[in-house]
Homo-oligomer: A and B are copies of this chain.
């Protein structure tokens, strides 16, 4: 019997759960300074190239969908994507909305984004609802 999917405790601590997509759990980082989504494939692979090809294609389709949402809903100008895993070994894909003048621009957010900004509950509810509409 396959082991049930479990989110890494660090991702659980750092993020709000947003949606269960076909291939991934979609999270939103608690730091509200930039819209920072994280897709966690429900797979045992630790790296993108270890996914089955159909899994990887599905995960990347979902990352594209989230990227479009970040641009349209938050009005960002760029999307930064990263799959790093140096601190949290569970495979996860960052999709981060960026704009010139944001708190880290033009540097990356990883390891550089100051804490201290959080989402109000009502804001989270709005984002989740808009995401739901975007996802169809």
Contact with B along A124-135 (1 / 0, CB 8 A): 000000000000
User: Per DSSP, are chain A's interface residues mostly helix, strand or loop, or mixed?
Assistant: mixed
Number of copies: 2
Residues of B within 8 A of A53 (CB): 61
User: Is A56 an interface residue, CB under 8 A from the partner?
Assistant: yes
Least CB distance, A26 to chain B, in whole angstroms: 15
Report A's interface with B, CB cutoff 8 A. Answer: 47-49, 53, 56-57, 60-61, 63-64, 67-68, 78-87, 98, 105-108, 110-111
9 closest A-B pairs by beta carbon, nearest first, are A86-B106, A49-B64, A82-B82, A49-B67, A81-B83, A108-B110, A80-B84, A107-B111, A87-B106
